[in-house]
Amino acid sequence: MIMKILTFPDPKLREVSKPVTDFGPELKKLSEDMIETMYDANGIGLAAPQVGELVRMVVIDTRPKDEKGRRYKYEEMSELEQAVPQPLILINPEIVKGEGKTTFDEGCLSIPGYYETVERFNYIEMKAYDLNGKEFIVKTDGLLAICMQHELDHLEGTLFVDHLSFVKGNKIKNQIKKYGYPVKDKADADSAKAGAGPDKEKLEV
């Protein structure tokens, strides 16, 4: 089921999500709906609060698409990224180690049409749980590490614009509150749904 993605300034995006304690069928259904919603929106990551569910779960798929829109192109990813099965479901995620720095022009499905350079750890180790409540650790770098950090922010009520300077961040927030979001060109939307996807430097999570 395709779910509605909340956009800033929806107050739910600013709330801290609660830890998952029930690993039952409802959680599995939510994860499936979130993955379907992420793909439908042509995103590479989605956190539960973005669809109005204040629980600590995120779904991610950063694999580049082939010409048919299938996310099979592992060869364009680092060795560490390739070692992580995707789509990836992270429940109660927590960064246990972060090294190095990298920057990336981040976008967000909850702030559509806006992209800004954000600094993140280049390499992270993240502890999380699967749908059966089993603990595991993901060790990765590159785009996958960036996306994981971005999604973890959502669980704390933090948006990527909060990482910008006070002036730049407030300018974007005020512009959205006053004018709303830019209307996506229909041709661009149709192209994205067909599998062309956004530019590498303009991925939304």
Q: What is the pLDDT of residue 89?
A: 99
Q: What is the pLDDT of residue 194?
A: 37
| H-only helix segments in 12-60 | 25-40
Cα(88)–Cα(49) distance, integer angstroms:
17
Domain segments of the chain as ranges: 11-204
DSSP state of 4: P
Closest CA to 164 of 114, 125, 101: 114
CA-based torsion, 199, 155, 114, 191: positive or negative: positive
pLDDT in tens, the chain (205 residues): 999 999 999 999 999 999 999 999 999 999 999 999 999 999 999 999 999 999 999 999 999 877 666 666 666 789 999 999 999 999 999 999 999 999 999 999 999 999 999 999 999 999 999 999 999 999 999 999 999 999 999 999 999 999 999 999 999 999 999 999 987 654 444 444 333 333 444 667 7
Is residue 151 part of the annotated active site? The answer reads yes
Active-site choice (81, 106, 151, 204): 151
Cβ 121 vs Cβ 101: under 8 Å = yes
Q: What is the pLDDT of residue 70?
A: 65
Cα(84)–Cα(17) distance, integer angstroms:
25
Q: What is the pLDDT of residue 195?
A: 35
Q: What is 11-204's CATH number, 1.20.120.550, 2.60.40.790, 2.40.10.220, 3.90.45.10?
A: 3.90.45.10
Q: What is the pLDDT of residue 73?
A: 60
Q: What is the pLDDT of residue 170?
A: 95
Q: Which residues pair with 129 in a beta bridge?
A: 91, 135
| H-only helix segments in the chain | 25-40, 79-82, 142-155, 166-179, 186-194
CA-based torsion, 19, 30, 77, 196: positive or negative: negative
Q: What is the pLDDT of residue 198?
A: 39
E-strand stretches of the chain: 45-47, 57-60, 88-107, 116-129, 135-141, 203-204
Read off the pTM. 0.88
Angle at 81 between CA 53 and CA 115, to 5 degrees: 55
